[in-house]
Structure 1
Amino acid sequence: MNPRILVVFYSATGNTAAPASSAAEGARESGAEVRLRTVAETAPPQAIASNPRWQAHVDGGPHAELATLEDLEWADGLAVGSPTRFGGPAAQLKSFLDTTGGLWAQGKLADKVATSFTTASTAHGGLESTVLAINNVFYHWGAVVVPLGYAHPHLMDSGNPYGGSFVSRKSAAPDKEALDALRLRGNRLATLTGYVANGLRGRVSPPE
Structure 2
Amino acid sequence: MSKVKLAIVYYSAYGTNHAMAEAAAQAAEQAGAEVRLRKVRETAPADVVKSVPAWHDQAERTAHIPEAAPEDLVWANAFLFSAPTRFGTVASQLRAFIDTLGPAWQQGHLGNKAVSAMTSAQNTHGGQESTLNGLYTTFMHWGSIIVPPGYADPVIFASGGNPYGASATMGDVNDAVLASVRFQTRRLVEFAGKIAA
CA displacement at 1:76 relative to structure 2: 0.7
Provide structure 1 residue ranges, at least 5 long, that are not aligned to the other structure: 199-208
2:29–2:35 CA contact under 8 A, matched in 1:
yes
In the aligned structure 2, how far is the partner of 1:57 from the partner of 1:91?
17
In the aligned structure 2, how far is the partner of 1:36 from the partner of 1:177?
22
1:26–1:185 CA contact under 8 A, matched in 2:
no
Equivalent residue number for residue 177 of structure 1: 176
In the aligned structure 2, how far is the partner of 1:74 from the partner of 1:28?
16
C-alpha deviations, 1:7-57, integer Å up to 9, x for none?
Answer: 100000111100011111111121111111111111013432343211211
C-alpha deviations, 1:69-124, integer Å up to 9, x for none?
Answer: 11101111110011111111111111110011011111111101000000111111
The 5 A counterparts of 1:29-44 are: 29-44=30-45
CA displacement at 1:195 relative to structure 2: 0.2
Equivalent residue number for residue 168 of structure 2: 166
In the aligned structure 1, how far is the partner of 2:64 from the partner of 2:18?
8
2:9–2:82 CA contact under 8 A, matched in 1:
yes
1:38–1:63 CA contact under 8 A, matched in 2:
no
Which amino acid in structure 2 is aligned with residue 164 of structure 1? A
Equivalent residue number for residue 2 of structure 1: 3
Which amino acid in structure 2 is aligned with residue 38 of structure 1? K
CA displacement at 1:63 relative to structure 2: 4.9
1:104–1:110 CA contact under 8 A, matched in 2:
yes
What TM-score do you get using the length of structure 2 for normalisation? 0.94
SS, match of residue 96 in structure 2: helix
The 5 A counterparts of 1:82-121 are: 82-121=83-122
1:22–1:180 CA contact under 8 A, matched in 2:
no
1:22–1:186 CA contact under 8 A, matched in 2:
no
In the aligned structure 2, how far is the partner of 1:131 from the partner of 1:64?
24
Percent of counterpart pairs with the same letter? Answer: 41
Q: State yes or no: 1:59 paired with 2:25.
A: no
The 5 A counterparts of 1:5-24 are: 5-24=6-25
Q: State yes or no: 1:188 paired with 2:187.
A: yes
SS, match of residue 79 in structure 1: strand
2:15–2:58 CA contact under 8 A, matched in 1:
yes
Equivalent residue number for residue 203 of structure 1: none
In the aligned structure 1, how far is the partner of 2:60 from the partner of 2:105?
34
C-alpha deviations, 1:140-162, integer Å up to 9, x for none?
Answer: 10000011211112112214001
Structure 1 or 2, whichever has the larger Rg, is 1
What TM-score do you get using the length of structure 1 for normalisation? 0.89
Alignment RMSD: 1.2
CA displacement at 1:2 relative to structure 2: 1.2
1:8–1:38 CA contact under 8 A, matched in 2:
yes
Provide structure 2 residue ranges, at least 5 long, that are not aligned to the other structure: none
CA displacement at 1:181 relative to structure 2: 0.9
